[in-house]
C-alpha cells in the first residue's frame, strides 16, 4: 500500500528511513536475538540504547552538563501536574501565558496546587497570536514562568523568549522540539511529548536544570518526582523502552540531516511554500497574524463551511490526509513536522492552487 501525506497534528508522520530501520530491527535487535520490546530495561544492551539516545539529544540541543535529560511516561498532560508539584516550592505561585488550549489546561492544573497568575492571554482573538507581554505583570517571586513554545491547535509560535530574570522559564515544546534551534540555557525546564517530532506516543522528554530538582511538594507521588527519575537515570521503574529506542533512531536521523539548524532551515522553507501561497490566494486565508506563524502547524480557512468540507474530502482522495482543523477552530490545519518531506508540501500547494482555480 502507498503511504499517504499525513498532515495530522499528532501522532504524526515519522521519517520513512527510521520506520524502515525499525522494521528491520523489529524482531531481532543487533546480535541480541530479541526485539527491543522484549529486553530487560536493566540489561547492558538496553542501557546502551538509553545512553546513546541521551547523548545524541544532548548533542543536538546543545544541552549543558548542569541539565538532566529524563525519559518519562504520561505524555505532555502529566507535565501539567508534575511542573507545579515539583517547582511551586518556594512561594507557591507561578506565571502563565495563555496562548491556547494546552497552556490553559496547564494553568488550570497548576491552580490546583498553588497561585497561578495569568500574565497575558490571546483568548479574545481566538489565540491567533502570541500576546504582548507587560513585564509589570510578571511576579518577582514566582517559582517559575510558563509558556507553550508552539501552539499546535492555533498555529502560533514564540519567536522571542520573555526575559524572566531569575525566575526559571518553563517551556512546553511538544510540537516543535528539534524543529528549530533553541537556547536551552534560557530555560529551567523544557519538555515534549514524543508523538509529533520524536517518535511513538508514550515517552515524554524532560530537560531540567539540576538546581530545580529535589524540592517537590510533600504529598507528591513518588512517580511524579523529577529527582527520583533523575537519580535513577529514567530507570526507577520500567520506562517506555520501545519508545526510547525509536526516539534514539530519530535523533540519529536528525543528526544525519545536518542537525537542528539544518532541520530549521528546511522547515522554514517548507512553511514559506505554504504561507506564500496563502498570502497571494484569493480563496484561502491563513488564520494567524504573520509574525507569530508556526513552522509546524499552519491553520487556514476557505470562505464557507461547504468549501472547507469539499476541500478536505477532495484532498483526502488525493492522498493528503488529516487536514481537518481542530474542532475549536474549524477549517483546515496542515501539520508539517520534521518528517514531512518538502515534496509533500509542494504537492499540497499544487493541489490547493488547482482547487482555487476550480472553485473561484
Ligand atoms: N502540549 C502541546 C503543545 C500539545 O500539542 C499536546 C498534544 O497535542 C499536549 C501538550 C498534550 O500532550 P499529551 O496528549 O501527550 O498529553
pLDDT of 290-337, one tens digit each? 999 999 999 999 999 999 999 999 999 999 999 999 988 899 999 999
Task: Check the CA dihedral 172-156-278-284 and report its sign.
Answer: positive
Q: Once rounded to an integer, what is the mean pLDDT over residues 36-49?
A: 98
Determine contact, residues 298/157, Cβ cutoff 8 Å.
Answer: no
Compute φ and ψ for 237, nearest 5 degrees. -125, -170
pTM equals 0.98
**Residues of each domain in the chain carrying CATH 3.40.640.10:** 18-256
Decide: 8 in ligand 1 pocket, CB within 6 A: no
Architecture of the domain made up of 5-15+259-359:
Alpha-Beta Complex (3.90)
158 is in an annotated binding site: no
Cα dihedral sign, 109-92-132-169: negative
360 pLDDT above the threshold of 90: no
> What 8-state DSSP symbol labels residue 2?
P
| Residue 1 predicted with pLDDT over 90 | no
Q: How far apart are CA 116 and CA 108, in angstroms?
A: 8
If one residue of 11, 75, 158, 326 were mutated to test the ligand 1 pocket, choosing by the most ligand atoms within 8 A of its CB, it would be: 75
Residue 162 CB–ligand 1 contact under 6 Å = no
Cα distances (Å, whole numbers) of residue 7 to 47, 76, 176, 315, 346: 34, 20, 15, 11, 13
- Best residue among 8, 82, 152, 153 to mutate for probing ligand 1's pocket (most ligand atoms within 8 Å of CB) is 152
Q: Whose CA is nearest to atom 4 of ligand 1?
A: 174
Cβ atoms of 63 and 57 within 8 Å: the answer is yes
- The mean of the pLDDT values for the chain is 97
Cβ of 148 below 6 Å from ligand 1: yes
DSSP 226: H
| pLDDT average, residue stretch 10-22 | 97
195 is in an annotated binding site: yes
Taking residue 167's Cβ as centre, other Cβ atoms within 10 Å add up to 19
Distance of CA 111 from the midpoint of ligand 1 (Å): 19
Q: Check if the beta carbon of residue 32 is closer than 8 Å to that of residue 17.
A: no
Which residue matches cell numbers 491552580?
A: 111
pLDDT of amino acid 329:
86
Is 154 within 8 Å of 299 (Cβ atoms)? Answer: yes
Ligand 1 centroid–CA 244 distance in Å is 18
42 marked as part of a ligand binding site: yes
The residues annotated as belonging to the active site are 102, 172, 196
**Is the CB–ligand 1 distance for residue 299 below 6 Å?**
no
* H/E segment holding residue 239: none
Counting residues of the chain whose pLDDT is more than 90, the rounded percentage is 98
How far apart (Å, rounded) are the C-alpha atoms in residues 23 and 109? 39
Give the model confidence (pLDDT) of 163-210 as tens digits: 999 999 999 999 999 999 999 999 999 999 999 999 999 999 999 999
One CATH from 3.40.50.1100, 3.40.50.2000, 3.40.50.1860, 3.40.640.10 for 18-256: 3.40.640.10
Q: What does the angle CA 213 – CA 117 – CA 100 come to, to the nearest 5 degrees?
A: 90
Say which DSSP state 163 is in: -
Does position 232 have pLDDT exceeding 90, yes or no?
A: yes
User: Which residues of the chain are in CATH 3.90.1150.10 domains?
Assistant: 5-15+259-359
What percent of the chain is modeled with pLDDT above 70? 100
Amino acid at each position: 500500500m502507498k503511504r499517504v501525506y499525513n498532515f495530522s497534528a499528532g501522532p504524526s508522520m515519522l521519517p520513512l528511513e527510521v520506520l524502515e530501520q525499525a522494521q528491520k530491527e523489529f524482531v531481532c535487535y543487533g546480535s541480541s536475538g530479541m526485539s527491543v520490546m522484549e529486553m530487560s530495561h536493566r540489561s547492558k544492551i538496553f542501557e546502551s540504547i538509553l545512553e546513546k539516545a541521551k547523548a545524541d539529544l544532548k548533542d543536538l540541543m546543545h544541552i549543558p552538563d548542569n541539565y538532566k535529560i529524563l525519559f518519562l511516561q504520561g505524555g505532555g498532560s502529566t507535565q501539567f501536574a508534575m511542573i507545579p508539584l515539583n517547582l511551586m516550592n518556594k512561594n507557591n505561585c507561578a506565571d502563565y501565558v495563555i496562548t491556547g488550549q494546552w497552556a490553559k489546561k496547564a494553568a488550570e492544573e497548576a491552580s490546583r496546587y498553588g497561585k497561578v497568575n495569568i500574565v497575558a492571554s490571546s483568548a479574545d482573538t481566538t489565540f491567533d497570536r502570541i500576546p504582548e507581554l507587560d513585564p509589570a505583570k510578571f511576579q518577582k517571586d514566582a517559582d517559575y514562568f510558563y509558556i507553550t513554545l508552539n501552539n499546535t491547535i492555533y498555529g502560533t509560535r514564540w519567536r522571542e523568549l520573555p526575559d524572566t530574570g531569575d525566575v526559571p522559564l518553563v517551556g512546553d515544546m511538544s510540537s516543535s522540539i528539534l524543529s528549530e534551534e533553541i537556547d536551552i540555557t534560557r530555560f529551567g525546564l523544557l519538555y515534549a511529548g514524543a508523538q509529533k517530532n520524536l517518535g511513538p506516543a508514550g515517552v515524554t522528554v524532560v530537560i531540567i536544570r539540576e538546581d530545580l530538582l529535589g524540592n517537590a511538594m510533600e504529598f507528591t507521588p513518588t512517580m511524579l518526582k523529577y529527582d527520583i527519575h533523575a537519580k535513577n537515570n529514567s530507570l526507577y521503574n520500567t520506562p517506555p523502552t520501545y519508545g526510547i529506542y525509536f526516539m534514539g533512531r530519530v535523533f540519529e536521523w536528525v543528526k544525519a540531516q545536518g542537525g537542528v539548524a539544518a532541520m530549521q532551515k528546511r522547515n522554514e522553507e517548507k512553511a514559506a511554500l505554504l504561507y506564500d501561497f496563502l498570502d497571494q490566494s484569493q480563496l484561502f486565508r491563513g488564520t494567524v497574524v504573520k509574525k507569530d506563524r508556526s513552522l509546524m502547524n499552519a491553520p487556514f480557512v476557505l470562505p464557507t463551511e461547504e468549501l472547507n468540507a469539499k476541500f478536505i474530502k477532495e484532498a483526502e482522495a488525493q492522498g493528503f490526509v488529516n487536514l481537518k482543523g481542530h474542532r475549536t477552530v474549524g477549517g483546515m490545519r496542515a501539520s508539517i513536522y520534521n518528517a514531512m518531506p518538502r515534496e509533500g508540501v509542494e504537492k499540497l500547494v499544487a493541489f490547493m492552487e488547482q482547487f482555487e482555480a476550480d472553485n473561484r
